[in-house]
Amino acid sequence: MRAAIYCRVSSDDQVKGYSLITQEQECSARAKDIGATEIDAYIERGVSGDALDRPALNEMRSALRSGAIDLVVMYDPDRMARKLAIQLLLTDEILKHGAKLEFVRFDWQDTSDGRLFYALRGAIAEYEREKIIERTSRGRKAKLAQGGVVNGPKTYGYVFHPETDNMRIDPETAPVVRQMFGWARDGITIRAICGRLAEMHIQPPKNGTKWWPGSVSRILRNESYTGKLNTNRWHSTMVEGRRTHKQRPRDQWYAARIPVIIPEAVWQAVQESLDHNARYSRGRRTHECLMQGHLRCAECGSSMTIRSKSMPNREYLYYRCINARTKRSYSIKDGAIVHSCRHIRSVRTEVLDKAVWDRIEEFLSDPHRVVPNEDAIDADITRQLGLVVSQKKAAKAAQERTLRAYQRALLDEDTFGRETSRLRAEYAELEHRERILGEHKQREIAIARRRDDVQRALIAARNIPALGDLIDFATKRKIVRLLVDRVVVGHSPQGVAEVEIVGYIW
């Protein structure tokens, strides 16, 4: 007799005491007692039982369909599946292909009474599981809402104490975190930080043996070190047998207060330094132009890169949208190239550089320029954000009222569908506006935080009679990076380049 044993564990099951070794041993013993001479084991490690699509299960089902299995042994019905519908489907499939089904911890009988008891047991188990999840989730959210910490997050630089459910600073790793932020604030690149840590023989997170740039980047981008641990950020679901994670809207996050390792101002400075390094990294650049790294296509929003055209006497350089050059398809109608961006015109680098620099020079030479105040910016945008949050709450409440009205038969199905679609669209628009306002606020505050630097640049520039003639290329690049966030390049119907400068020029 050819037997197949199916064993499965997930993280939840391991907490309950399930063991793959125990399952495999007891299932093999049961198969031998029944008379199996050949035993094949199908093992699932860390796979949820909520889905039908599982690697080892699929392999066992293929063997069943080919007639290679006479007996299937499992430890318990919930090892087969967590949902009754999947349990019943797999049970019917096993029996349909002529195999016998046995469980170690359940007496399965292929009779009408046995099937009824089997289905009732599965339904009750599924109901109890859902109730446990609901109670656990409700208690977890209540604790998070009170600023508590759950599940012991593993954040490098901290240790979690389960006795008190709080995070404490780790005296061994916290100094390493402070050193990393200090290097990053001084402009040291992530790869260079990895090299320094390795040379100092500092133990990486999770008892690793190597420092990876990705690990260092996650540490430097982690806002928890400022004392604010954001929780309830991710929602996990099963999609086609695989667990996927989707970030929740920010208003559903919870913030727990934990000890501060890095001051807020230092963390913000490091984010700006990392963004600067990512934006202006030389990489494999072969040409240096003034607006390199700042240009965005008005048509599709993508960056514009430099392309060259060689002539007998000299080489010409052009700015061009990266999508117009690299992302293309071919029409099945006439074979013509169809670019994903219609902005396929190129702009001479020296022409565009001069146009933008002339605008910067005019700005720097104006004695009436004053840098905006950070407090005024923060108050205005905070007021707008507060209004959007209130509108989101009202839209959410309207959705709930519509659902209750439909449940009470006060709305027909068509009206309910139209109202639900309208309210969802309204809520999505408010979420989009909230995100845009948040980004705008951060950008405007970044401007105000550069107040001293920009003011010094203004004062210095006003003392130079002929700004463009006396400043070298490197100094011009520094001024551009200080004042310009991005330059949006489009074309008029006549084919003339149109430029919009976005940044610290007003």
Measure the CA–CA gap between 479 and 360, rounded to whole angstroms. 9
Instruction: For 158-280, give the CATH class.
Output: alpha beta
pLDDT of 494:
62
Instruction: Find where tokens 């607006």 sit.
Output: 291
Domain 2-133: homologous superfamily in CATH? Resolvase, N-terminal catalytic domain (3.40.50.1390)
Say whether 158-280 and 2-133 share the same fold: no
Query: Would you state the pLDDT for residue 373?
Result: 52
Query: Which of 232-246, 249-263, 323-337 shows the highest mean pLDDT?
Result: 249-263
pLDDT digits (tens, 9 = 90+) for 212-243: 888 899 999 988 898 888 777 777 766 655 66
Type and span of the H or E element at 365: helix 349-365
For residue range 141-178, what is the model confidence (pLDDT) as tens digits? 666 666 666 666 788 888 887 777 778 889 999 999 99
Span of 101-105, 352-356, 411-415 with lowest mean pLDDT: 411-415
Instruction: Give the residue ranges of DSSP H helices in 146-255.
Output: 174-185, 190-199, 213-221
List phi, psi (to 5°) of 296: -130, 140
The domain segmentation of the chain, as residue ranges, is 2-133, 158-280, 284-370+454-506, 372-449
- The pLDDT of residue 272 is 84
Say if residue 12's pLDDT is above 70: no
Query: What average pLDDT does this structure show over 283-301?
Result: 74
- The predicted-structure confidence for 385-412, as pLDDT tens digits, reads as follows 888 888 888 888 888 888 888 777 787 8
Q: What pLDDT is stored for residue 367 in this prediction?
A: 57
Using pLDDT thresholds of 50, 70 and 90, give the confidence band for residue 369: low
pLDDT band of 331, cuts 50, 70, 90: very low
Terminal CA-CA length for the chain? 83
Model confidence band, residue 335 (pLDDT cutoffs 50, 70, 90): very low
Mean per-residue pLDDT over the chain, rounded: 78
pLDDT at 332: 38
48-52, 102-106, 221-225: range with lowest mean pLDDT: 48-52
* Residue 139 banded pLDDT, cuts 50, 70, 90: low
Q: Where are the beta strands (DSSP E) in 108-172?
A: 158-161, 166-169
